[in-house]
Amino acid sequence: MKIPFFVQEFTNEMDRFSHIKYRKLIPFVAILLTFHQFFVLDVYAYIDPVTGSALLTLLAGVVAAGAMILKSYWFKIKTRFSGGFSKEKQTESTDKHSLESGFVSEWAELKKINQLSQDERSIVFYAENKASMNHFQSLIHELTEKMNLQICYVTSVKDDPILSTRNQRILPFYIGDGTARTKFFSSLKAKILVMDMPDLGKFHIKRSDEYPVHYIYLFHSMYSVHSYLRKGAIDNYDTIFCVGPHQIKEIREAEKVYGLKAKKLINYGYGRLDTLLQNKINAQATNSDAKNLIIIAPSYGDDNLLEKCGIKLIDILLKSDFRVMIRPHIRTLRDSTELIDSIKKKFGKNPNFVLETGVIKFDSLNNSLCMISDWSGISLEYAFTFERPVIFIDVPKKVLNTNWSDIALEPIETSIRDKIGHIISPNNLEEILDLIRILDKNTQNIGELIKDIREKTVYNIGESAKIGAQYIRELHNKDA
């Protein structure tokens, strides 16, 4: 059963407040409100939707308060019988200040945002996670450094490097991912909001109900819209910065099929690719001794290559004297701990094996021989940047949009696979060894083919930031 967003948010905030000295007041307030609801004098024949939602939220609060009371008494019992403070209690004490200050500081930051002048918060960027900056970087640089425009940068990433930027044209704020963020979106008074987070208006993150904000969506993958995003994921945006012709066709077809209002579509490109290509130009000469590195970059889900055949694949490559780096998807690291532990136990002491849990460094990508993937979006980034083929393990694709076939267009990640690489069955992993050797000998020919496909797939290679910034500036100056 899916937990309603307001229950999740209320429970999260209650949990964060469970360490605060005023927590004893929470159950009293919850009980008082409950009695108030049941002993009102005027009774009508129906419960309207807003009241129903409020009652559900209240119920969630009562449940959360009850859980907190039980937790508090459990602590007391454990402490009394253990002869002192438990480790859990000590951890609670240690984290108390950070939890209190975290919640307070997020709302304080929101207050600062609301106190900005209209010019200071006219252009706003919102970063949902660490990957967001990969797609914002060149665009923000163009706006602030080349066009001298002021932007407001709001992030849910606590250690976002932009928070310590010296760029005077960037006003950075951290608002977390709790109720302060929800309030930020619903009360935003900005002319333009740029973000790479889909599903606006589909869950608890809504369009502003206080100001006519213009919402711009930036894709965080070159894949097809109707296959890698949920149905309706970008319906509530005003402008879409499209990667290539395939996304233009897909969005227009979806508007036609579902009877949607036409959005403004910009032939933008892919900023992340532009950054990688520039890094490649600036990179030093490749060390030939490192050219036997194979990078394995799976997607996530029950059927990803790591779940299906990861251990066997790593074993085959290491026994053939290749160096292997595997970068599991962040969700796999979080949800499949037994599998990750098995990989560490079996290969962790091998000097030719690396388990990368962060972002793959550019030098590793640049110096690698090839990439092995399944349906991960990084496969296109790798092929188009280094003009090297990708070996695709043919596992079932994870489907986020069960209605994807409503759009009668083949997803690009399906149609392009055999053009930028080779597809291997998980039952024939041994074929990979011969394939790698063949690919290494025909690098130049394959590279030219991939370069040609890249030109036809992605708009404005090396120029996307200029295109996007020009549009934002025109929008910013409109009716100014």
pLDDT at 59: 55
- CA 185/CA 183 separation, integer angstroms: 5
For the chain, the domains span 5-108, 116-270+463-477, 275-457
Question: Average pLDDT in the 295-319 region?
Answer: 95
pLDDT band at 416 (very low <50, low <70, confident <90, very high): very high
pLDDT tens sequence across 206-261: 999 999 999 999 999 999 999 999 999 999 999 999 999 999 999 999 999 999 99
Indicate the fold that domain 275-457 takes in CATH.
Rossmann fold (3.40.50)
pLDDT at 438: 81
- In terms of Cα–Cα distance, which of 183, 166, 165 is closest to 175? 183
DSSP assignment of 398-424 equals P-S-TTGGGS-S--HHHHSHHHHEEEE
pLDDT at 321: 94
Strand duo 123-127 + 151-155: pairing: parallel
- CA 416/CA 424 separation, integer angstroms: 15
pLDDT tens sequence across 133-183: 999 999 999 999 999 999 999 999 999 999 999 999 999 999 999 999 999
User: How is domain 116-270+463-477 classified at the architecture level of CATH?
Assistant: 3-Layer(aba) Sandwich (3.40)
pLDDT tens sequence across 421-464: 999 999 999 999 999 888 767 667 788 999 999 999 999 999 99
Output b/e per residue, 211-248; b: 16+ Cβ within 10 A: eebbbbbbbbbbbbbbbbbebbbbbbbbbbbbbbebbb
> Quick check: do 116-270+463-477 and 275-457 share a fold?
yes
- In terms of Cα–Cα distance, which of 386, 343, 364, 378 is closest to 292? 364
Alpha-helical (H) ranges within 204-304 are 225-228, 245-258, 271-282
Look at residue 311 and tell me whether its pLDDT is greater than 60.
yes
Average pLDDT of the chain is 84
Question: Average pLDDT in the 321-329 region?
Answer: 95
pLDDT band at 398 (very low <50, low <70, confident <90, very high): confident
pLDDT at 141: 97
